[in-house]
Amino acid sequence: MPDHGIVVVTGAAGFIGRACVAQLKANGWRVRGLVRALDGQTAARAEFLSVGDLAAIGAHSLANALRGAVAVVHLAARVHQPERDDAHAAYRAMNVGVTQRLAEAAIAHGVRHFVFASTVKVNGETTAAGRPFRESDPPDPHGEYAQSKWAAEQVLGALAQPSGLRVTALRLPLTYGPGAKANFAALARAVRHGVPLPLASVANQRSILGVGNCCSALATLLASDDAPDRGRVTPYFVADRTPVSTPELIRAIAQAIGVTPRLFALSPGLLRFAGACAGHAATVERLLGSLEVDTSAFCSRFGWAPPVSLARGLAAALRTTAPL
């Protein structure tokens, strides 16, 4: 097996991080997965390194974490949290400040490639029918999370140009896999427990990403030639092969779990009205609206195609996830 060198993965204890550590090891990388603290799953494995809070890590510890690395995959982030008065500062400290400090240290220690896990929401919350987001579309981030990710991409661009660092920003859609939380877990839990869902008439299109496809894309990216991309940030969209509607996703989840989905139809207008009255307009819109991305740039540049089908990805995610 080839030895590609050392890759540092932040957020290695998360569900994407754990899968990526395993994939990169299998592909011949010497992985150093950074975690806040070792636990029962990571303590006996040499590839995991406890570094505490990345927002408070000392210069010596950061240098030790990056020692000898040729690439960094930065997955650690502050993700969607209940809005608070200090939300702006909290998102900026983690998603911008930590990213900047990590990239500066990477440059100082000779890292060649910095991969940043960004979000599709840098480009916006919804897409028009038949018009998926493309990398050439202007950013339009809404909310503290998306805005902090876009700010981090800009900081990385300012650092890359004078240093020659190659930076790839992967703008990821909803990602699912074993241990996934938030929206995917909530939807899977509702399906598992037979909650009636008034979404049968929804005709949207949403790009999603299985963690197996995410890791495959990452491994392909890290093995690629870096000459064309040095000294700049290159954004890419990565997703499963085919977008799905919300009812299609619910049926696929139900099939993976082995239950019958309880879908019935209410008009989208009525659902939006009910969501607004209940203070959940944004949540309802995520179920009704389209958010589609065009992955042709990444697939063409790296000769990549998603290897894992939706059915296989969901089966793996829901078979190995703790009961919901």
- What does the alpha-carbon distance between residue 229 and residue 13 come to, in Å, rounded to a whole number? 29
Helices and strands, number each (H, E), in the chain: 12, 9
Tell me the CB-side half-sphere exposure of residue 314, using CA atoms within 13 A: 20
Q: Are 250 and 191 in contact (CB under 8 A)?
A: yes
- What does the alpha-carbon distance between residue 195 and residue 212 come to, in Å, rounded to a whole number? 28
Residues 6 or more apart from 183 whose CB is under 8 A from it? Answer: 174, 286
Q: Are 70 and 50 in contact (CB under 8 A)?
A: no
List of long-range contacts for 104-108, beta carbons under 8 Å, 24+ apart: 104/159, 105/59, 105/62, 105/63, 105/66, 106/66, 106/69, 106/72, 106/165, 107/159, 107/163, 107/165
Residues 6 or more apart from 78 whose CB is under 8 A from it? Answer: 90, 91, 93, 94, 95, 145, 148
**Catalytic pick among 91, 145, 176, 236:** 145
Q: How many CB atoms lie within 10 A of CB 109?
A: 16
Here the tokens at position 90 are 């909290």
Query: Rounded to a whole number, what is the largest CA-CA distance in the chain?
Result: 58
- For residue 145, indicate whether it is catalytic: yes
Q: Catalytic amino acids? A: 145
